[in-house]
């Protein structure tokens, strides 16, 4: 049951990150969030597997990777906006 709950959490977090449509949010932010979440989940799952907690590691890695990817994507969007005179 615990594995199912963690799996649902991972899917939910990934869906939320992929569907983020906040005002001012642009393509690179979304792509960074999704890419970071996927990479974080994979790496977290591998690391967590070593301690017998693969799904928990994937959930934590996905959340942290998604947040980090969104921040990096947002910075890229901001830089592109500045370079292009206000358009991303």
Q: pTM of the predicted model, to two decimals? A: 0.64
Q: What is the pLDDT of residues 52-73, one digit of tens each?
A: 988 888 888 889 999 999 899 8
- What's the domain count of the chain? 1
Domain assignment of residue 6, given as a range: 2-19+28-83
Asked if the structure places residue 55 within a domain, the reply is yes
Asked if the structure places residue 46 within a domain, the reply is yes
Asked if the structure places residue 88 within a domain, the reply is no
d(C-alpha 12, C-alpha 37), whole Å: 11
pLDDT by position in tens, the chain (length 88):
566 666 666 666 666 655 554 445 578 888 888 899 989 888 988 998 888 988 888 888 889 999 999 899 888 888 888 887 665 5
Q: In sequence order, what DSSP letters do the residues of 18-71 get, joined into one string?
A: HT---TT--HHHHHHHHHHHHHHHHHHHHHHHHTT-HHHHHHHHHHHHHHHHHH
Asked if the structure places residue 69 within a domain, the reply is yes
């Amino acid at each position: 049951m615990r594995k199912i709950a963690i799996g649902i959490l991972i899917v939910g977090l990934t869906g939320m990150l992929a569907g983020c449509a906040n005002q001012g949010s642009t393509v690179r932010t979304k792509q960074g969030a999704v890419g970071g979440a996927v990479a974080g989940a994979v790496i977290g799952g591998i690391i967590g597997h070593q301690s017998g907690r693969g799904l928990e590691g994937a959930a934590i890695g996905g959340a942290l990777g998604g947040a980090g990817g969104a921040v990096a994507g947002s910075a890229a969007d901001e830089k592109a906006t500045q370079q292009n005179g206000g358009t991303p």
